Structure 1
């Protein structure tokens, strides 16, 4: 059995209103902890991916704030206290200071993290 806390999980992205921490949990899955300041829009950092959208699926829980999720089909808003599934093909934007925890396939998550980090430099 594997467990982790926010503070025990290594930071993989920091800057521009965004902090992401990731840890592989086994079974091909990783945990992703995210803190995003109000106004943080990942859309620009996702440019260059297919359809300019995140291609990693996410199963998560929004613990604080509100997130607007843009997809090819439109937009949806998520609020603190909601569990969610975001399929591949999305771009999140923090409408308020937000925090969330997610489980994601490790391979796809690592590809998106590497792309976002490259866009931020």
Structure 2
């Protein structure tokens, strides 16, 4: 049976202050994320419908605090909380937060492409 841990994850990516250690399993991306600073995706998500992440996520907050904003409400998760976030959310994560998150590979690719494009524009790497 496949398994992955923060230490054994083979894909390591940096998104600004966020470190992501991940592996794909059965069509899901298993991700251990650590936030070195407060983070939000308000800028990068502008390119997506409703300026919100359109990928569902399931996960567990290991340490710290996260807040997800929807059009009509918000939800807060802290250390020890398991969560499910349907499409249409905007995440805000406190510095020092660590979480385990599972996301459909295809859906997450769309969101990450928007984030990468936005970061490159901010750095002046694309017209």
Alpha carbons of structure 1 residues 86 and 2: separation in structure 2 relative to 1, 3 Å: same
The C-alpha deviation readout for 1:47-100, integer Å capped at 9, x for no partner, is 111101111100100001001111112222110100000000111111342111
Q: What is the rounded CA distance, in whole Å, between the counterparts of 2:32 and 2:86 in structure 1?
A: 18
Number of the residue aligned with 1:99:
98
Determine helix, strand or coil for the equivalent of 2:106. Answer: helix
Give 1:18 shift.
1.3
Give the CA deviation at 1:112: 1.3
TM-score relative to the length of structure 1: 0.88
Output the aligned Cα RMSD.
1.5
Partner of 1:11: 12
CA distance in 2, matches of 1:11, 1:42: 20
**In the aligned structure 1, how far is the partner of 2:94 from the partner of 2:36?**
8
Unaligned runs of 5+ in 1: none
Unaligned 5+ segments in structure 2 are 121-127
Aligned residue number for residue 49 of structure 2: 50
Q: 1:22 to 1:115 in 2, by over 3 A?
A: farther
Runs of 4+ in 1 over 6 A off after TM superposition: none
Specify which structure has the higher proportion of strand.
1
Matches within 5 A, 1:45-84: 45-84=44-83
Alignment: residue pair count: 119
Distance 1:92 1:37 in 2: 15
- Determine the C-alpha separation between the residues in 1 that align with 2:20 and 2:31: 7
